[in-house]
Amino acid sequence: MPANLSIATDRHIALSVRDLRKVYSSDAGDVEAVRNLTFDLPAGELACLVGPSGSGKTTLLKCISGLMRPTGGTILLDGNKIVGPPKKMAVVFQEYGRSLFPWMRVHENVALPLKNQRVPKARRKELVDQALEAVGLAHVPTSYPWQLSGGMQQRVAIARAIAYQPEVLLMDEPFAAVDAQTRADLEDLIRDVWEKLGLTILFVTHDIDESVYLGERVIILSSSPTVIQDDIRVDLPDVRDQLETRSLPRFTELRHHVYQQIQLAKLNHRPADAARPPQASRMVRDA
Amino acid sequence: MKILKSIAYAVGLPIILIIIWWAATLGTANFYAPSPALLVETFAQVWFSELFLTDVLPSIGRMLAGIALAIMIGITAGLAIGTTRWLRMLLEPTLEFLRAVPPPVLIPVMMLIMGISDSMKIVTIVFGCVWPVLLNTVEGVRAVDSVLSDSSRSYAIGGLARVRHLLIPSASPQIMVGVRQSLSLGLILMVISEMFASSSGLGFSIIKFQRSFAIPEMWSGIALLGLIGVGLSFLFQFVERKALRWYHGQKEVEHAS
């Protein structure tokens, strides 16, 4: 039995999910998508959320982003209850082709949320330029999104999110629809942006390797109705490298552990302490 | 070269038709079918005169006013109905009923209520032209992409900003389909609204020529209507291509891949 190690942290809690429950009502009967989810995200953490398909990842993200009302429980952003889409949060969706405004040029897409917040023009331009620079798209500000490749479109969506200066950035399987090489580049981009800007990121994915490679922490969801299956620390070096990090023995161990947990989740194995969800992530003991 | 070629294509068929018409009227003196030369001559005589100012321009003005009003009302009401479920449920059966009423039958009613006036004619045009715009706007607003809508909401783009930056642009291809239909309806209703108890206008002139057996003059009026229709259509295509550049570009990219 691995010891439950509380990670000592003096960082304040940016996002707190408490007893979250979501039941979809339909004529055919109620479907319980999320049963009981509780976890905290300290400010500045990059956490990955993995789960088998149909584990309610998107439901959870929609509730956190305020786009969907949970059936029960509360979500706090900086201690304030979320009832609608909060200001200090940005979301990057999987479907990059459908999340950008096709009638606006790249820089207009990035600027629109700022314009809507009445950010003065000079400051707006500065933020947009910085964001496009940060995602490596400073050279295409006047293109339309549909003139760009899929990976570049997703970069635009990321630029729009970081220009908005959110405290919490939610990402819903953002790289699921891009090819493998682009995906590796975008993963490194996220690590880079996260380190530079000190954002709190909740990154939802179904890719086990990606979750271990990217995260400081991996939260594993059970199958539906969803509870937290496991919550582990990723004790890999801070500087991640596509080749080196992925060939570390520790990477393989962690990957193995997450994989096992997901397999258990698929077999409908519930964590023993589902009734008392873990309050903090734990270390995975060496094999 | 490319432009010359497309112009050649565009005018090719009309030229062939005119040649056939010219050949068919050669050597005959049918009272009802004037030759092209006579028609051109009559056209210039009849319409490049005071009649253009007193009848043609006011008619076109009423038509454009009616179409513009119909577009504004159609888009505004369409946005409201498209975004509000209860409003849709409340209005849909009534709208179907009103839409089914052919606007010309309302002209006698309008004359009773509003008298024989410009506004009566404009209201008739609006009543006919509003439906395609309204219904297409409702469709367009309801078909707004859910991910795009979520994106906007997550960035707190709501209220009028949502209408301006999300709803209108994403419904605009559909709205344009409605506007196109309205334009041809507008021309038809402009003529019809002037055929009852009117004393001026293009439609009135055509009827007047017909009743006085001024056949070439009548034909020249019909030709003028056709030309106005072509003009409207070109104007529409120009505006549409400008406004929906993104849409056509996006579709081209999608088809290419």
List, as one string, the DSSP characters of A65-112: TTSS--SEEEEEETTEEPSS--TTEEEE-S-HHHHS-TTS-HHHHHHH
The stretch A202-213 carries a mean pLDDT of: 92
Residue A54, phi-psi category: left (phi > 0), alpha (psi -120 to 50), beta (remainder) = left
First to last CA, chain A: 12
Neighbouring C-beta atoms of residue A203, cutoff 10 Å? 25
ipTM, 2 dp: 0.84
Residue of B144, B146, B150 to mutate, interface with A, max A Cβ within 10 Å = B150
Per-residue pLDDT tens over the stretch A111-127: 999 999 999 999 999 99
Preferred mutation among B145, B148, B151, B164 to probe A, highest tally of A CBs within 10 A: B151
Helix, strand, or coil (residue A198) = coil
- Read off the pLDDT of each residue in A246-270 and give the average, rounded to a whole number: 86
Res. A278: pLDDT tops 60: no
- Distance, in angstroms, between B221 CA and closest chain A CA? 42
Q: What is the mean pLDDT of residues B120-137?
A: 93
Res. B122: pLDDT tops 80: yes
Query: How far is residue A106 from each of residues A141, A159, B252, measured CA to CA in Å?
Result: 5, 10, 19
pLDDT tens-place string over residues B154-198? 999 989 999 999 999 999 999 999 999 999 999 999 999 888 878
Using an 8 Å CB-CB cutoff, list chain B residues near A169: none
Structural domains in chain A, CATH included, are 13-88+166-266 (3.40.50.300)
Average pLDDT over residues A190-195: 91
Contact by Cβ (8 Å): A92, A170: yes
* Res A186 pLDDT > 80: yes
The CA distance from A232 to B33, in Å, is 91
pLDDT digits (tens, 9 = 90+) for A47-95: 999 988 877 888 899 999 999 999 999 999 988 898 889 888 999 999 9
Q: Which residue has the higher pLDDT, A264 or B70?
A: B70
Q: Beta partners for A36?
A: A227
Dist. CA A184–CA A214, nearest whole Å: 10
CB spacing of A103 vs B150 below 8 angstroms: no
| Closest C-alpha among A73, A77, A78, A82 to residue A21 | A73
pLDDT digits (tens, 9 = 90+) for B209-245: 999 998 889 999 999 999 999 999 999 999 999 999 9
Across the interface, which of B147, B169, B254 has its CB nearest the CB of A93?
Answer: B147
Instruction: Identify which of A90, A98, A101 has the shortest CB distance to residue B154.
Output: A90
Instruction: Map out the domains of chain B with their CATH numbers.
Output: 37-256 (1.10.3720.10)
Contact list, B253 vs chain A (CB under 8 Å)? 146-147
Cβ separation A98–B253 shorter than 8 A: no
Strand, helix or coil for residue B245: helix
Pairing state of beta strands A217-221 and A200-205? unpaired
Taking a C-beta distance cutoff of 8 angstroms, is the pair A23, A70 a contact?
no
Q: In chain A, what are the helix, strand and coil shares in percent, each to the nearest 5?
A: 35, 25, 40
Q: CA A149, CA A171: separation in Å to the nearest integer?
A: 19
Beta carbons of A112 and B246 less than 8 Å apart = no
On whether the CB atoms of residues B194 and B121 are closer than 8 A, the answer is yes
Chain B contacts to A (CB-CB under 8 A): 145, 147-148, 150-151, 153-157, 161, 165-166, 169-170, 172, 246-247, 249-250, 253-254
Give pLDDT, residue B99.
87
Q: How many CB pairs under 8 A join A and B?
A: 65
